[in-house]
A = this chain, B = another copy of it.
């Protein structure tokens, strides 16, 4: 850190801790220079930096004052993607960027995963051992697709808790939600078909489209309440859309949450056009709201909604157990699974059966939600304090991603490179669209509350973004 950055950081700390309050005058350049034994130029540099971040403001012929800024930055506006569909080619970039998040020395702000320390891995290991020690080898074929019946019944039971009727028969156990989503997409499309997605959207959806030679139709999406149903309705009138791939609950990357009525309207709209919905719902259990938000699947009467989820984000990362509740497409999904990966690992299925019966899943979930909600607040505050003026962020009611919209002149890919040089990963907005939007946005992972490197890393990213905003 250069001298002026160090001084700027000190002043920012005084502001964030409330020692300096909005409207307070900062020491003059001459005074600060004398007190701190740094050159006036260094003080100027520091003040420019703080000004670019929006923490202080210059008043003509009077000096610098702490800004009267709001405690939280604004929420970004709804997206306005292009109206034409686009062939998808983002995989190289995704792999380049995500590869960097796997280095243990790199702070995982750009990671897709929450910290594995948040999960009851010891308890799961116990159930794993117990399940397999008493495993009857004769029953090995029983865990083939659609999957272990006991596990599928437990999944159906959790739907029932949320007042949803999902038949055990339509549940197919998969290698995590990612396989479920890919199987669902393959089941309802042919190369060249158009698929509607949110904008921005989870890059894995874009990769799946790319892999299957499909076209992405990106639909305007609001960072708070999700996809714009008017825009979707227009698209459905205008185009032959073969499927929708959406995340109504805690969308990745926005964190948006569709209200129930909106989900109901969505399902009716898609039913009218006979368009299947692939619903990615992996973050639903990580809600900070009063109760688990119900998925669009809850309103499906025609078997058109394929609801995909997993235990990877909320209980058992790396166990690779997910599922699709695939409605009328269940048999096709089951067969496609048998043909491509045969089955989910039996030890994993057995461990989850045991844990769900006896492990204390709900207690674990309560703790996990609290930890993530606290970390969301901490992270939002740090971004408010250290990111450049004009930065907007979402305030998700669940999950572990914040969407940060930086001033337009900041290129998130450049920011990613600069941050990476300091061993910090970020997920640039480029990853979340096939049409090269969001180049000034980044997704921040706040799912590592136990990682003490995250706070200084956020400050560093803020400082780098501020520099880029000034260029």
Contacts and interface: CB of A to CB of B under 8 A. Distances in A.
Interface of A: 91, 95, 101-102, 104, 113, 115-117, 119, 121-122, 124-126, 128-129, 132-133, 135, 137-144, 175-176, 178-179, 182, 186, 191, 204, 207-208, 211, 317-321, 335-336, 338-348, 351
Contacts of A344: 320, 345
B317 A342 contact: no
A182 B91 CA distance: 19
A346 B317 CA distance: 9
A347 B128 contact: yes
A115 B140 CA distance: 9
Contacts of A338: 95
Number of chain copies forming the complex: 2
A338 B344 CA distance: 16
29 contacts: A95-B335, A102-B142, A113-B140, A113-B141, A116-B137, A116-B140, A121-B137, A125-B129, A125-B133, A125-B135, A126-B129, A140-B317, A175-B341, A178-B339, A178-B341, A182-B339, A207-B339, A211-B339, A211-B340, A318-B345, A318-B347, A319-B347, A320-B342, A320-B344, A320-B346, A321-B345, A347-B348, A347-B351, A348-B348
A138 B121 contact: no
Contacts of A182: 339-341
B318 A140 contact: yes
Contacts of A121: 132, 135, 137
Contacts of A144: 102
Given A204-B339, A320-B344, A345-B345, 11 more contacts: A95-B335, A104-B139, A121-B135, A121-B137, A125-B129, A126-B129, A128-B347, A179-B342, A191-B191, A320-B343, A347-B351
Most buried by B among A129, A143, A179, A336: A129
Contact of A115 (B91, B137, B191): B137
B125 A137 contact: no
A179 B128 CA distance: 24
Contacts of A115: 137
Contact of A340 (B126, B142, B179): B179
A340 B178 contact: yes
Nearest to A175: B341
A36 B398 CA distance: 81
Nearest to A137: B116
Given A124-B132, A140-B317, A178 B342 contact: yes
Contacts of A348: 345, 347-348
Nearest to A338: B95
Nearest to A344: B320
Given A128-B132, A140-B113, A319 B339 contact: no
Closest 9 A/B residue pairs (Cβ): A129-B129, A318-B346, A116-B137, A125-B132, A345-B345, A116-B140, A175-B341, A320-B345, A179-B341
Nearest to A174: B341
B339 A318 contact: no
Contacts of A340: 178-179, 182, 208, 211, 340
Contacts of A320: 175, 341-346
Contacts of A318: 140, 143, 343, 345-347
A109 B347 CA distance: 26
A323 to B, nearest CB: 13
A421 to B, nearest CB: 21
A342 B321 CA distance: 11
B339 A176 contact: no
A332 to B, nearest CB: 10
Nearest to A183: B340
Contact of A342 (B104, B119, B175): B175
Contacts of A211: 186, 336, 339-340
